DNA sequence: CTCGGTGATGGCAGCAACTGACGTCAGCTA
DNA sequence: TAGCTGACGTCAGTTGCTGCCATCACCGAG
């Protein structure tokens, strides 16, 4: 038998989520999390650079899913479609069985600003990588940035809906709906010529 | 003569930016900032809840500008146009003279994750308020969320461009360009019928 | 079988970011 | 003149986090 039980990071992660959910994030100390699984604070911080990071581990898989989606898109697909493919691929990581877990996790995050900040930063990081992937495909710089931003916005909004009480649709379906709605919203109407009374450059 | 020099928050803010720019954010202690303007650490934290917050003070004006833009939009304007009006109004707060200041400030932020996280959170907060303002106008829930998200995305991207070295255009002009580009990107092409091979609901 | 390397952990000291409680004092007001 | 208030200082204490060094089971080389 090994000297230490294996899977320390996973055990810490689970214990942390439970403690955060019951006592709250700020009311839970890193030492408590560690001790609850038979480890010390020092070891906790060896596995997670941050106290918050314990809730954001495994995001590499999410990033990879986005990137895989990009890679799988036909090479002649317009940027938005590529972004849509990325979102669709990412949505795969969240089957309905995972909804309860995602719900409690998000509930914890929604109650604490530091956690919200970390989450936003993670999403922004993904958006940046997505934009890079698009540029690598030859997409124009600005277009890549915009498409990536739209992608993660759609994903974020769809995820929020997916988490809601009573929501039955799959994340995949919701994502498609949100994107569809976005495309409808941005539809230019035949309106009266583009407005020109802007300060000249 | 007053017992204490007035404008403590402003002095702290300026000193902090200078110190952050020269020594770096993490290498600068709250005590140093306070002492550099003849105050104590305790007083620093009385004015700013956070060490980071010293860089994000006065965002109320930015929020107000977005909201004013919404209020100024014609009541029958579609959500996207309202969001565009909000962005346009916000862009007003950043005349070209302010570019150097914004540049050094952003340089500091770009070098430190905690600061980036705080900035993203501020923007997300504005997006939420913008969405609320749209809903108050009777815009559908999801549509409001999407339009608001698009608005702050456009603003964020435009701001990034405005900051770039050699950029000559005004933030107002850049914002308009970015939005135009976004609308073009999301244009549906006559393509072959909407894809239907999606898992049924 | 022994020996040295390796990896995961514990223990400890220490700094910086905050926080709460309390004291101080100029200026204003009654 | 007495009392109140607002802006600040002082001090002690908690927590997040880091560096440094010790420990010890395991594993491969000899």
pLDDT in tens, B165-197: 999 999 999 999 999 999 999 987 665 555 444
- Backbone φ and ψ for A130, nearest 5 degrees, come out as -65, -45
What is the pLDDT, as a whole number, of residue A125? Answer: 97
pLDDT digits (tens, 9 = 90+) for B9-45: 999 999 999 999 999 999 999 999 999 999 999 999 9
Q: Which residues contact residue A15 at a Cβ distance below 8 angstroms, ignoring those fewer than 6 apart?
A: A33, A36, A37
CB burial class (10 A; 0-12, 13-18, 19+) of residue A127? Answer: buried
Mean pLDDT across A102-117: 97
CA of A111 to C1' of D9 (A): 34
- CB of B178 closer than 8 Å to CB of A142: yes
Identify which of A21, A143, A148 has the alpha carbon closest to the alpha carbon of residue A84.
A148
Quick one: which of B135, B161, B158 has its CA closest to B146? B135
Distance between CA atoms of residues A130 and B84, nearest Å: 25
d(CA A132, CA A134): 5
- pLDDT of residue A120 exceeding 70, the answer is yes
Residue B122 pLDDT exceeds 60: yes
b/e per residue B125-144 (b: at least 16 CB within 10 A)? ebbebbbebbeeeebeebbb
A121 touches chain B (CB under 8 A): yes
Determine the Cα angle at A194 with ends A188 and A197, to 5°: 145
Enumerate the nucleotides of strand D whose atoms come under 7 Å of any protein CB.
6-11, 15-20, 24-26
CB < 8 Å & 24+ apart, contacts of A183-188: A183/A80, A183/B186, A183/B188, A185/B78, A185/B79, A185/B80, A185/B143, A185/B146, A185/B147, A185/B150, A186/B80, A186/B150, A186/B182, A186/B183, A186/B186, A187/B188, A188/B183, A188/B187
| Among the listed residues B44, B27, B46, B26, the one whose alpha carbon sits nearest the alpha carbon of residue B35 | B44
Are A84 and A151 a contacting pair, CB within 8 Å? yes
Q: Residue A184: which of B177, B193, B142 has the closest Cα?
A: B142
CA A43 – C1' D20 distance (Å)? 15
Residue B1 pLDDT level (bands cut at 50, 70, 90): low
| Confidence band, pLDDT 50/70/90 cuts, at residue B6 | confident
pLDDT (average), residues A72-79? 95
For residue B181, give the nearest of A78, A143, A201 by CB distance: A143
From chain A, the residues in CB contact with B145 under 8 A are 157
Query: Would the pLDDT of A191 be above 90?
Result: no
Distance from CA of B2 to the nearest CA of A (A): 38
* pLDDT(A195) > 80: no
pLDDT per position as a tens digit, A173-190? 999 999 999 999 998 776
Burial class (CB in 10 A: 0-12, 13-18, 19+), A57: middle
Q: Which two tokens stand for residue A182?
A: 């976005």
Mutate to test the interface with A, among B49, B117, B177 (most CBs of A within 10 A): B117
The confidence band for A33, taking pLDDT boundaries of 50, 70 and 90, is very high
Determine the protein residue whose CA lies at the shortest distance from the C1' of C11.
A42
Q: Which residues of B touch A186 (CB under 8 A)?
A: 80, 150, 182-183, 186
Mean pLDDT of A167-173: 97
Q: What average pLDDT does range A94-98 have in this prediction?
A: 97
Q: Is-contact B30 B53, C-beta < 8 A?
A: no
Q: Taking the CB of residue A180, how many other CB atoms lie within 10 A of it?
A: 13
B125: pLDDT strictly greater than 50: yes
Tell me the pLDDT of chain B averaged across its residues: 93
Average pLDDT over residues B99-118: 97
Interface touch A157/B146, C-beta < 8 Å: yes
């Amino acid at each position: 038998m090994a000297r230490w039980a294996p899977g320390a990071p996973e055990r810490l992660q689970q214990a942390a989520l439970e403690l955060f959910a019951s006592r709250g994030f700020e009311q839970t100390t890193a030492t408590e999390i560690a001790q609850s699984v038979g480890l010390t604070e020092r070891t906790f911080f060896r596995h997670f650079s941050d106290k918050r990071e314990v809730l954001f581990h495994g995001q590499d898989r999410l990033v990879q899913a986005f990137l895989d989606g990009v890679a799988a898109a036909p090479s002649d697909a317009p940027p938005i479609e590529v972004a849509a493919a990325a979102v669709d691929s990412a949505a795969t990581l969240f089957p309905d069985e995972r909804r309860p877990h995602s719900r409690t996790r998000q509930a914890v995050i929604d109650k604490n600003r530091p956690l919200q900040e970390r989450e936003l930063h993670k999403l922004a990081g993904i958006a940046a990588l997505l934009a890079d992937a698009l540029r690598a495909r030859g997409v124009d710089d600005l277009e890549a940035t915009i498409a990536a931003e739209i992608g993660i916005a759609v994903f974020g909004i769809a995820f929020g809906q997916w988490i809601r009480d009573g929501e039955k649709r799959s994340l995949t379906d919701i994502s498609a709906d949100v994107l569809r709605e976005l495309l409808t919203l941005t539809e230019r109407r035949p309106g009266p010529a583009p407005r020109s009374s802007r300060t000249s450059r």
